[in-house]
Amino acid sequence: MARSRRLSAVILGLALMITLILQTDMTVQAGTNNYLDELRGGVAAVLDPGTQNVAEIVNATARELNLDLDAIQEDFSGTLVMANVKDALNVRSDADKESSKVGKLYKDCGGTVLERRDGWTKLQSGNIIGWASDDYLLFGEEALALANDVGKMIATINTESLRVRMEPGMDAGVYGLLPKGEIVEVLSQDEETGWVCIDYDGEDGYVSSDYVVLDFLIDAGETMEEIKIREEAEREAKRHVNYGAYTTDADTTLLLAALIQCEAGSESYEGQVAVGAVVMNRVRSAAYPNSIHGVIYASGQFTPAMNGKVNAVYESGRIKDSCVKAAEEALSGVSNVGDLTHFRRNNGREGLVIGNHVFY
């Protein structure tokens, strides 16, 4: 039933899009209006029963109506696309599997559609601009669902200093001040009242939407040049081939400890180990960079890495003993979250709840 409702909504939207195309004097064969009437009524008469996503709906409908497929696909430029892979997806210089590689999209990476043709999509993800096969991409509602699951909303302070309130109201108490340019994770937003709930050192803080810039972040891929630079640096790291054993130097241990402190410094020791375990699970997975530094500073992943807090804590040397111990345990292979690779403030989603975080 949910699948039918979702397809019907997409079909109706597609009908409006095709109507606009027809208004531009595009020539179509007789009988098109009958198909449009069916589409407006939400009848999926033109769809192949195996249709899986918006892209296939567009393709099937265009073929049935003998429309200009390229013209229709142009309307999808600027929309979200997500990688649908377990590990990594090659992005190429042209819409051809034999063309040269320009980069890679990893699991949970996304980007923006630039162009579509012949079962390929030209996309931009971070510094990558290239083509990827539609067989390994998600579009439409499926892309949005994945992005909402793995991405995060952040707020950047755009005034000299901003009070963080304990409740959504100008008369509420104040936790503290955030400086201009500070980046914080958004937990929720009330568009009617104009208040944004943020993560403020583990507490639910509130700021006015008038003084922040909101952005939704998802992880981006890497160009071949970026991969080369990263791999050269990683060759210098000391790693053990056995699962659960990862030897590293003291500086890297402290970097992981600094992230743990920023993400879970006020959590229980169990929660601190869990954050470290998530990082190490990513290091061991082919779907993420295979170094601690690469995982921590991957685009759109850890807010404290984006806003400079990890660097500040690391450089200060003021890291809690419990966070250092948690980092050492995670590095030795200890994991109290299995092979889970994500966590966020507990917002009611399904997952393993430890303290104020849910791991999934």
Cα–Cα separations (whole angstroms), residue 190 to 140, 174, 187, 198, 207: 25, 19, 11, 12, 11
Output the pLDDT for position 24.
38
**Tens place of pLDDT per residue across the chain (360 aa):** 333 333 333 444 444 444 334 333 333 333 444 444 444 344 333 334 444 444 455 455 445 444 444 444 444 557 999 999 988 899 999 999 999 999 999 888 999 999 999 999 999 999 999 999 999 999 999 999 999 888 888 999 999 999 999 999 999 999 999 999 999 989 999 989 999 999 998 889 999 999 999 988 888 899 999 888 877 766 665 444 443 444 456 788 999 999 999 999 999 999 999 999 999 999 998 778 888 998 998 877 899 998 899 999 999 999 999 999 999 999 999 999 999 999 988 877 789 999 999 999
Residue type, 297: Y
* CATH number given to 152-217: 2.30.30.40
Q: Which CATH architecture has domain 237-359?
A: Orthogonal Bundle (1.10)
Phi/psi for 287 (5° steps) reads: -85, -5
Instruction: Give the residue among 75, 1, 10 at the shortest CA–CA distance from 44.
Output: 10
Q: Is 14 helix (H, G, I), strand (E, B) or coil?
A: helix
Output the pLDDT for position 234.
62
- The CATH homologous superfamily to which domain 80-149 belongs is SH3 Domains (2.30.30.40)
Output the pLDDT for position 287.
79
Output the pLDDT for position 19.
39
Task: Output the pTM of the full model.
Answer: 0.60
Output the pLDDT for position 159.
96
Q: Is 169 helix (H, G, I), strand (E, B) or coil?
A: coil
